[in-house]
């Protein structure tokens, strides 16, 4: 049990996927202009990442490792994740239209999200068990959401501030992201 | 190597099959129209239609919840395209344009503190409502300019937003972001039927004008040498500017802020000046007229109120017909007011202008003799309005006068009813009688009605219980006699079938919050009004009537514009409960004509007439100033008057009529206007 708590804290804060591993930077800058969209994106990532973590773990152990085809990992994971998102989208649209409308355009965006891909690969490289992989995927996704929501909050306030013209929009966004990353760097000392 | 191909290939095939199956199993039908409509919409996702984005609007249009013209941004082209997809006829919508409602930037206005915080009006509002003393002043931080998705707004040199009317699409984004509700969408129709409210910047003269002409606005246009635009502004509220120019008592000038230093601006002579200009050019300026909606409205009475009502109905796209009892239109203006105060050629010119907007007339027809309520409905009119105004409206209520019969059976003025009884005429009051009266005579009359066979008599009074005569207060004895008293109540509507009265709608007059507002409809065969004139009623067809017989038409009155005495005070308090007009000045009749237009327009366009909250003329608690500084005193311009003996000032004669201002003095006078807002005014340093 303490192991799992350590895993969760490590995945959310210490190895935060956005601010410490620098994965998934496109949505980090793209959908962080408004709190509303940031929350939607965070939810969609949590949802997909848990599913993708589980499926890719199964694919890796029972398909790739069984046939000694580890070198096809990246290729097959892209295929699996992309089709998984497609499938989930269809399923939600029919069965849970409410959730579909809520997640909306964020689901297809995740097909090409390197944070999802990255977490699945990390799960395998760290040689997690199935449960560990599930917990890690969930925690990384929560960390993703946390960073995104924090960043969106900061950016919403920056819009109202008097920013010099050349630095407006993405430039000041990147500067802010850097500072946020530095702040998260402090968690390195925890573990 | 081979296993690699097999595994990847197998994975691909397996996933392909699963997805193919899933697309069948989880298939959701999407109306192809939705996609077609969405393609036609501009995709700006501005929210001007009131929905979150273009795709939501497409769904709403296909579901029939939004009209083909709901996209305010796209304009007629998009509407046509959407209408084609949907296969519906196009209904044209009047364009709405954003208009900033503040005219003094923070350099000129008085401020409480200097604001240096976040550069956004919404944040600035959090600090005691912003830095300006005026609670509705523009904070000038440009939130609306940043929000505008079409780049139609910019910040002017005085830190006030400037609207580019060419690029403004009327999406309403600026209106939604402005924390002060200063920038709002407006259209000519909105201004015609609108009234000033307390959170709107108004000048003192504008507030005191009974019909609410935008006085600083039209004077500004005179300064700009644009007399037609000035007239267009006046005609949004007053269709008879020249007549008013001659005979209006001009309460606006009493409120003029210049009174605090020298003399009021000659507002009424300035109005007369632009109206004279129109008369000299011999053409009538009709600025905006909505496309026809086809509803036919019968306006009974062609006086100032009926003319105003018809003029605005025509401008809003209705098809009004004036039914006038006298040989010519004009009412009191023509038949009562002396010709040397109001030359008849002025009157004819103004009436001609009103008729040019598409108003039809029938003269020499009398309600009760030549037509009745039900015959009008049978002729195809969608609504009938009584604008009997200043003239005695008893004729239509008096069944026994020779040659007339009552247009609405069962409706009497109390005096006529008593007169008929005293002369021994036979009157059948029916089963249920409603008497609207505050005095003890009502009890007498009630008893008489009971003797004549009425089962139940209800006395309605607008007074509170303790203000009533003592005889009407202890009502238990009366109730034993079958006479019931309702205090703090007014009659707000009638319902009937063909030409007879069936029901009377009552409403409690207690101010909201004091007691629950009560509405009730009671059966009535006879309604006896204590005195005065018949209130303005707007009659429309009604399906919801108890058992009309074959060939009969059910009707009811709709709510017009009214305020209850005692609930609020101000210059708009109506003269009698239930009435909205006051014939003490022509400008007051214009107001009620305009308000009736509002009621009719709301009834036909949105089905319910909504009361306006926080009317500016009902309140005394409005931001104002009592001292004026930094203004140079100057004399009011006066018309040049010829006197009897060369330059003797003892006796005046008017060559033909009272002369107006000439152009030079009108321009000088226009410069005297201080362009007031609530507390701002133009300072001369």
ipTM, two decimals, is 0.80
* pLDDT at site B403: 39
Of the candidates B7, B22, B27, the beta carbon closest to that of A87 is on: B22
**Inter-chain CB proximity A90 and B11 less than 8 Å:** no
Domain ranges of chain B: 30-93, 97-186, 402-532
A57 or B96: which leads in pLDDT: A57
DSSP-derived letter for residue B320 is E
Q: Is B186 a residue whose pLDDT tops 60?
A: yes
* pLDDT at site A178: 92
* pLDDT at site B399: 46
* pLDDT at site A59: 92
Q: Provide the shortest C-alpha distance from residue A157 to chain B (in Å).
A: 9
Written as six digits, the tokens of B371 are 């037509």
Q: In sequence order, what are the residues at sequence separation of 6 or more whose Cβ sits closer than 8 angstroms to the Cβ of residue A44? A: A103, A106, A107, A109, A110
Of the candidates B3, B22, B119, the beta carbon closest to that of A90 is on: B22
Residue B674 banded pLDDT, cuts 50, 70, 90: very high
- Alpha carbons within 13 A on the beta-carbon side of B391: 25
Mean local confidence (pLDDT), A51-70: 90
Chain A contacts of B18, Cβ < 8 Å? 83, 87
Structure pTM? 0.74
* pLDDT at site A150: 93
Among B63-67, B260-264, B438-442, B666-670, name the one with the lowest average pLDDT. B63-67
**Inter-chain CB proximity A76 and B11 less than 8 Å:** yes
Instruction: Tell me how far apart the alpha carbons of residues B310 and B318 are, in angstroms, rounded to a whole number.
Output: 9
Mean local confidence (pLDDT), A165-185: 89
DSSP-derived letter for residue A167 is G
Q: Is B275 a residue whose pLDDT tops 90?
A: yes
Chain A contacts of B118, Cβ < 8 Å? 157, 160-161
**Inter-chain CB proximity A160 and B118 less than 8 Å:** yes
* pLDDT at site B562: 60
Chain B contacts of A98, Cβ < 8 Å? none
Chain B contacts of A162, Cβ < 8 Å? 119
**Inter-chain CB proximity B7 and A72 less than 8 Å:** yes
- pLDDT above 70 coverage of chain B, percent: 86
Residue B569 banded pLDDT, cuts 50, 70, 90: very low
Of the candidates A67, A79, A91, the beta carbon closest to that of B26 is on: A91
Mean local confidence (pLDDT), B282-303: 84
Residue B651 banded pLDDT, cuts 50, 70, 90: very low
Chain A contacts of B3, Cβ < 8 Å? 67-69
* pLDDT at site B194: 86
Mean local confidence (pLDDT), B566-578: 50
Of the candidates A67, A79, A161, the beta carbon closest to that of B12 is on: A79
Helix, strand, or coil here: B404? Answer: coil
Averaged confidence pLDDT in chain B: 82
Q: Which of B6, B11, B123 should we substitute to test contact with A (largest number of A Cβ atoms within 10 Å)?
A: B11
Q: Is B95 a residue whose pLDDT tops 80?
A: no
Instruction: Tell me how far apart the alpha carbons of residues B327 and B363 are, in angstroms, rounded to a whole number.
Output: 5
Let me know: does B147 contact B44? Beta carbons within 8 Å: no
Say if strands B489-497 and B483-486 run parallel, antiparallel, or are unpaired: unpaired
Q: Is B648 a residue whose pLDDT tops 50?
A: no
Residue A124 banded pLDDT, cuts 50, 70, 90: very high
**Inter-chain CB proximity A79 and B119 less than 8 Å:** no
Mean local confidence (pLDDT), B559-573: 56
* pLDDT at site B615: 76
Written as six digits, the tokens of B641 are 């008057």
B294 or B357: which leads in pLDDT: B357
CA distances from B546 to B497, B542, B543 (A): 9, 10, 9
Q: In sequence order, what are the residues at sequence separation of 6 or more whose Cβ sits closer than 8 angstroms to the Cβ of residue B204? A: B255, B256, B257, B624, B676
Fold of the domain spanning B97-186 = Alpha-Beta Plaits (3.30.70)
Architecture of the CATH domain B30-93: Orthogonal Bundle (1.10)
Residue A181 banded pLDDT, cuts 50, 70, 90: very high
Q: Is B14 a residue whose pLDDT tops 80?
A: yes
Q: Which residues of A40-70 are buried (b: 16+ CB within 10 A; e: fewer)?
A: bbbbbbbbbbbbbbbbbbebbeebbeeeebe
Q: Is B619 a residue whose pLDDT tops 70?
A: no
Written as six digits, the tokens of B83 are 């209408």
Of the candidates A67, A79, A159, the beta carbon closest to that of B3 is on: A67
DSSP-derived letter for residue B457 is E
Chain B contacts of A94, Cβ < 8 Å? 25-28
Helix, strand, or coil here: B301? Answer: coil
pLDDT digits (tens, 9 = 90+) for B478-522: 888 888 888 888 787 888 887 778 888 887 766 544 444 556 788
Sheet holding B538-541, edge to edge: B360-362, B319-323, B296-300, B383-386, B538-541, B554-558, B489-497, B500-508, B519-523
pLDDT digits (tens, 9 = 90+) for B450-471: 988 889 999 988 788 888 888 8
pLDDT digits (tens, 9 = 90+) for B392-441: 554 544 444 443 445 567 778 787 788 878 887 777 888 899 998 888 88
**Inter-chain CB proximity B18 and A68 less than 8 Å:** no
Q: Which of residues 70-89 of A touch B (CB under 8 A)?
A: 71-72, 75-76, 79-80, 83, 86-87
Residue B366 banded pLDDT, cuts 50, 70, 90: confident
Q: Is B650 a residue whose pLDDT tops 50?
A: no
Q: Is B9 a residue whose pLDDT tops 50?
A: yes
**Inter-chain CB proximity B28 and A93 less than 8 Å:** yes
Q: Is B579 a residue whose pLDDT tops 60?
A: no
Mean local confidence (pLDDT), B519-527: 83
Let me know: does B442 contact B472? Beta carbons within 8 Å: yes
CB atoms within 10 A of CB B24: 9
Residue B620 banded pLDDT, cuts 50, 70, 90: low
Residue B390 banded pLDDT, cuts 50, 70, 90: low
B355 or B54: which leads in pLDDT: B355
Q: Which of A75, A96, A154, A160 should we substitute to test contact with B (largest number of B Cβ atoms within 10 Å)?
A: A160
DSSP H/E element including B281: helix B267-281
Chain B contacts of A87, Cβ < 8 Å? 18-19, 22
CB pairs under 8 A between A and B: 54
Helix, strand, or coil here: B680? Answer: coil
Dihedrals phi, psi of B308, to nearest 5 degrees: -60, -50
* pLDDT at site B519: 67
* pLDDT at site B120: 87
**Maximum separation of any 2 CA atoms in chain A, in Å:** 59
CATH no. of B402-532: 3.50.50.60
Residue B307 banded pLDDT, cuts 50, 70, 90: very high
Instruction: Tell me how far apart the alpha carbons of residues B13 and B330 are, in angstroms, rounded to a whole number.
Output: 88
* pLDDT at site A176: 92
* pLDDT at site B404: 41
Nearest chain B alpha carbon to A87: B19
Instruction: Tell me how far apart the alpha carbons of residues B234 and B229 are, in angstroms, rounded to a whole number.
Output: 9
Listed in sequence order, the DSSP H helices in A60-186 are 66-67, 73-95, 97-103, 106-110, 114-125, 130-160, 170-185
B30-93 and B402-532 agree in CATH topology: no
């Amino acid at each position: 049990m303490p192991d799992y708590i350590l895993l969760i804290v490590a995945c959310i804060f210490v190895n935060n996927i956005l601010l410490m591993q620098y994965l998934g930077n496109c949505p980090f800058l793209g959908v962080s202009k408004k709190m509303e969209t940031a929350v939607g994106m965070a939810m969609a990532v949590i949802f997909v990442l848990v599913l993708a973590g589980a499926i890719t773990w199964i694919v890796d152990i029972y398909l790739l490792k069984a046939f000694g085809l580890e070198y096809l990992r990246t290729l097959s994971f892209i295929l699996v994740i992309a089709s998984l998102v497609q499938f989930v989208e269809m399923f939600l649209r029919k069965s849970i239209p409410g959730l579909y409308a809520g997640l909306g355009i964020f689901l297809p965006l995740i097909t090409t999200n390197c944070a999802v891909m990255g977490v699945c690969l990390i799960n395998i490289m760290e040689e997690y068990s199935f449960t560990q992989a599930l917990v890690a995927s969930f925690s990384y996704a929560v960390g993703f959401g946390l960073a995104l929501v924090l960043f969106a909050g900061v950016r919403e306030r920056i819009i109202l501030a008097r920013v010099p013209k050349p630095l407006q929009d993405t430039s000041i966004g990147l500067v802010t992201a850097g500072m946020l990353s530095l702040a998260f760097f402090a968690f390195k000392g925890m573990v | 190597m081979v296993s690699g191909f097999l595994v990847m290939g197998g994975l691909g095939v397996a996933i392909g099959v699963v997805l193919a199956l899933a697309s069948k199993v989880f298939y959701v039908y999407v109306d192809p129209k939705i996609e077609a409509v969405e393609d036609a919409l501009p995709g700006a996702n501005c929210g001007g239609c009131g929905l979150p984005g273009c795709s939501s609007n497409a769904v709403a249009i296909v579901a029939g919840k939004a009209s083909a013209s709901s996209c305010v941004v796209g304009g007629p082209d998009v509407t046509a395209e959407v209408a084609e997809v949907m296969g519906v006829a196009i209904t044209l919508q009047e364009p709405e344009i954003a208009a900033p409602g503040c005219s003094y930037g923070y350099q000129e206005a008085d401020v409480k503190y200097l604001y240096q915080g976040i550069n956004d009006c919404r944040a600035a509002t959090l600090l005691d409502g912003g830095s300006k003393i005026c609670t509705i002043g523009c904070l000038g931080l440009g939130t609306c300019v940043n929000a505008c998705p079409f780049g139609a707004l910019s910040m002017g040199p005085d830190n006030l937003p400037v609207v580019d009317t060419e690029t403004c699409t009327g999406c309403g984004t600026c209106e939604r972001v402005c924390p002060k509700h200063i920038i709002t969408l407006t259209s000519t129709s909105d201004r015609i039927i609108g009234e000033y409210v307390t959170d709107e910047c108004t000048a003192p003269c504008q507030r005191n004008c009974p019909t609410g002409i935008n006085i600083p606005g039209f004077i500004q246009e005179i300064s700009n040498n644009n007399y037609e635009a000035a007239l267009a502004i006046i005609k949004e509220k007053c269709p008879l500017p020249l007549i008013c120019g001659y005979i209006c008592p001009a309460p606006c000038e009493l409120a003029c802020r210049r009174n605090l230093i020298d003399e009021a601006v000659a507002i009424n002579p300035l109005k007369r000046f632009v109206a004279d200009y129109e008369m000299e050019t011999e053409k009538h300026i009709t600025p905006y007229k909505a496309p026809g909606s086809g509803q036919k409205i019968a306006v009974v009475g062609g006086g100032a109120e009926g003319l105003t009502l018809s003029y605005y109905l025509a401008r809003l796209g209705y098809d009004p017909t004036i039914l006038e009892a006298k040989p010519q239109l004009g009412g009191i203006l023509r038949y009562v007011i002396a010709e040397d105060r109001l030359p008849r050629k002025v009157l004819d010119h103004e009436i001609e202008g009103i008729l040019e907007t598409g108003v039809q007339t029938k003269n020499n027809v009398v309600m009760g003799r030549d037509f009745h309520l039900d015959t009008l409905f049978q002729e195809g009119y969608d609504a009938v309005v009584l604008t009997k105004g200043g003239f005695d409206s008893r004729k239509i209520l008096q069944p026994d006068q020779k040659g007339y019969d009552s247009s609405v059976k069962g409706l009497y003025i109390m005096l006529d009813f008593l007169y008929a009884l005293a002369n021994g005429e036979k009157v059948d009051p029916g089963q249920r009688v409603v008497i609207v009266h505050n005095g003890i005579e009502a009890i007498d009359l009630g008893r008489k009605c009971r003797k004549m066979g009425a089962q139940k008599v209800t006395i309605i009074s607008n007074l509170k219980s303790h203000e009533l005569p003592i005889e009407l207060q202890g009502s238990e004895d009366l109730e034993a006699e079958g006479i019931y008293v309702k205090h703090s109540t007014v009659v707000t509507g009638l319902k009937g079938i063909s030409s007879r009265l069936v029901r009377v709608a009552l409403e409690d007059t207690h101010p909201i919050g004091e007691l629950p507002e009560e509405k009730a409809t009671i059966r009535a065969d006879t309604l006896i009004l204590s005195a005065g004139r018949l209130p303005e009623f707007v009659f429309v067809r009604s399906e919801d009537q108890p058992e009309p017989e074959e060939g009969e038409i059910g009707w009811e009155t709709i709510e017009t514009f009214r305020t209850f005495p005692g609930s609020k005070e101000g210059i708009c308090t109506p003269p009698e409960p239930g009435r909205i007009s006051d014939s003490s000045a022509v400008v007051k009749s214009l107001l009620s004509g305009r308000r009736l237009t509002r009621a009719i327009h709301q009834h036909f366009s949105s089905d319910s007439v909504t009361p306006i909250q926080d009317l500016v003329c009902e309140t005394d608690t409005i931001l104002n100033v009592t001292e004026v500084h930094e203004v140079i005193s100057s004399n009011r311009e006066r018309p040049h008057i010829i006197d009897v003996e060369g330059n003797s000032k003892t006796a005046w004669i008017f060559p033909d009529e009272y002369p107006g201002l000439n152009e030079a003095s009108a321009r000088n006078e226009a410069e005297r206007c201080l362009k007031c807002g609530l507390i701002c005014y133009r300072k001369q340093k």
